[in-house]
Chain A
């Protein structure tokens, strides 16, 4: 499984990529592979305030629905509207075109609480 080193991760398989004073959020290659064909994404409203760990979006595959949790507390400032028409972008390019939302964190320093690529790799190894 592909785990880019340029970003942070959660144990619940989200990634968080800092860009300026915002953070781009998506799900990992492992997560999209486990879900299978993504056929619907429920996106939050722009402007919504979220707490770290709060369910902020829903990714539905043919077989199941999966909550996406905010990796940091802050405000949703953008969502990937392309997913409404082409949710399969999450399968095709989970770390790029398949991004889900952008959060402006209360404190960029909170990213340090997340896992780095090596830490996430360990999580995957433990899950087997």
Chain B
């Protein structure tokens, strides 16, 4: 099992370590619910060093990214970031990613840990014929995510950069606790917050400084409940090689006015299913549970769990395109009423 540079810090702070995408990471330190609420109400700090980072640069970096990603990378100004997807030739999804334009001809792509090798091979192959240089920085990058309504004020005490001047999806260089960092006002919790790209040797000092300043350490458990409550997809669950993103609530990512790999297949494929959010009357839905419309089975839960804000079970599920309420979810042999919910499940800023 691989260790992130923060492994000793996790042990020191009582992290309950589990294996995730080949890395030893904390599931929780104290309680998933407490860590979740710390992010919604204060500031939580995650180690997301397991995520992959690819540097993409060259005179044809933009042209390459326009072909390789579904969102419009041409809209990215230097110092800005966007959520995007890597489509496959069949119109499915290789991965969902975050793309940061860090210089005129230089982009940083953050990919899911479980997909690093797959994405790298895919992008290397696609980059043939482009004047572009790809570098895998995953092993030499530590990544922290400081998330929550108090993230900005807490971080402000540790940096000379004026954070009040920064906006969502902005990326910039600054020192944090005296260490050089690339800061991005991004995250995957539905809250305001920052992600901090650091050299591995600086990660522990910055992690400790942020905790000292009042951030709550938060683990993978809270990261998952937060993203689910925010109605964000998780690769391997809501998005797969066979998912047409146009049939999901994240169809906005796909920009039809440009060309990209798999575009024709994506546009040609009819949507047999749709993705919906459900709030259960009782019980906790889990991945794979059956979803019914009345008496008829119409789909399956792809992500399910407990919403600490709603104090109810919530689920993302793929169901037949025409399926309508009343929805029920089979929870351990019992059909439980479930109401359709807009995403996110809870009001977020």
A binds B: yes
**Residues of chain A having any CB pair with chain B under 8 Å:** 36-37, 39-40, 42, 58, 60, 62-63, 65
Which A residues are CB-close (under 8 A) to B313? 40
Q: Which of A37, A40, A42, A60 contacts B31 (CB 8 A)?
A: A37
Contact status B28-A36, CB under 8 Å: yes
Question: In the complex, how many angstroms separate the beta carbon of B118 from the nearest chain A beta carbon?
Answer: 26
Would you mind naming 5 contact pairs between A and B with Cβ atoms under 8 Å apart?
A36-B32, A37-B31, A40-B306, A62-B306, A63-B32
Question: In the complex, how many angstroms separate the beta carbon of B62 from the nearest chain A beta carbon?
Answer: 42
Is B284's beta carbon under 8 Å from chain A? yes
Contact status A40-B284, CB under 8 Å: yes
Which A residues are CB-close (under 8 A) to B27? 63
What are the 9 tightest A-B residue pairs by CB atom distance, in nearest-first order? A62-B32, A37-B33, A39-B306, A60-B284, A62-B306, A37-B31, A40-B284, A37-B32, A63-B221
Which B residues are CB-close (under 8 A) to A65? 284, 286, 332
Is B216's beta carbon under 8 Å from chain A? no
A62-B306, A65-B332 as given contacts; A36 in contact with B283, CB under 8 Å: no
Give Cα A37 to B221, complex, Å.
Answer: 11
Which A residues are CB-close (under 8 A) to B32? 36-37, 62-63
Chain A residue with the shortest CB-CB distance to B220 = A63
Which B residues are CB-close (under 8 A) to A60? 283-284, 306
Contact status B283-A42, CB under 8 Å: yes
Is B225's beta carbon under 8 Å from chain A? yes
**Residues of chain B having any CB pair with chain A under 8 Å:** 27-28, 31-34, 221, 225, 282-284, 286, 305-306, 308, 311, 313, 332
Give Cα A60 to B334, complex, Å.
Answer: 15
Question: In the complex, how many angstroms separate the beta carbon of A37 from the nearest chain B beta carbon?
Answer: 4
Contact status B306-A36, CB under 8 Å: no
Give Cα A42 to B332, complex, Å.
Answer: 10
Give Cα A60 to B313, complex, Å.
Answer: 11
A36-B32, A36-B221, A42-B332 as given contacts; A62 in contact with B305, CB under 8 Å: yes
Chain B residue with the shortest CB-CB distance to A91 = B31
Give Cα A37 to B225, complex, Å.
Answer: 12
Contact status A39-B28, CB under 8 Å: no
Give Cα A37 to B34, complex, Å.
Answer: 9
Which A residues are CB-close (under 8 A) to B286? 65
Which B residues are CB-close (under 8 A) to A36? 28, 31-32, 221
Give Cα A58 to B284, complex, Å.
Answer: 11
Chain B residue with the shortest CB-CB distance to A88 = B33
Q: Which of B221, B282, B283 contacts A62 (CB 8 A)?
A: B221
Give Cα A42 to B282, complex, Å.
Answer: 9
Give Cα A37 to B16, complex, Å.
Answer: 14
Which A residues are CB-close (under 8 A) to B282? 40
Give Cα A39 to B282, complex, Å.
Answer: 11
Question: In the complex, how many angstroms separate the beta carbon of A42 from the nearest chain B beta carbon?
Answer: 7
Question: In the complex, how many angstroms separate the beta carbon of A27 from the nearest chain B beta carbon?
Answer: 17
Question: In the complex, how many angstroms separate the beta carbon of B38 from the nearest chain A beta carbon?
Answer: 13
Contact status B283-A40, CB under 8 Å: yes
Chain B residue with the shortest CB-CB distance to A63 = B221
Give Cα A58 to B283, complex, Å.
Answer: 10
Question: In the complex, how many angstroms separate the beta carbon of A113 from the nearest chain B beta carbon?
Answer: 28
Which B residues are CB-close (under 8 A) to A63? 27, 32, 221
Task: Other than A37-B33, A63-B32, A65-B284, give 9 A-B pairs with Cβ distance below 8 A.
Answer: A36-B221, A37-B32, A40-B306, A40-B313, A60-B283, A60-B284, A60-B306, A62-B33, A62-B225
Question: In the complex, how many angstroms separate the beta carbon of B346 from the nearest chain A beta carbon?
Answer: 16
Which A residues are CB-close (under 8 A) to B308? 62
Which A residues are CB-close (under 8 A) to B332? 42, 58, 65
Give Cα A37 to B306, complex, Å.
Answer: 10
Which A residues are CB-close (under 8 A) to B284? 39-40, 60, 65
A62-B225, A63-B27, A65-B332 as given contacts; A39 in contact with B283, CB under 8 Å: no
Contact status A39-B33, CB under 8 Å: yes
Question: In the complex, how many angstroms separate the beta carbon of A111 from the nearest chain B beta carbon?
Answer: 29
Chain A residue with the shortest CB-CB distance to B332 = A58
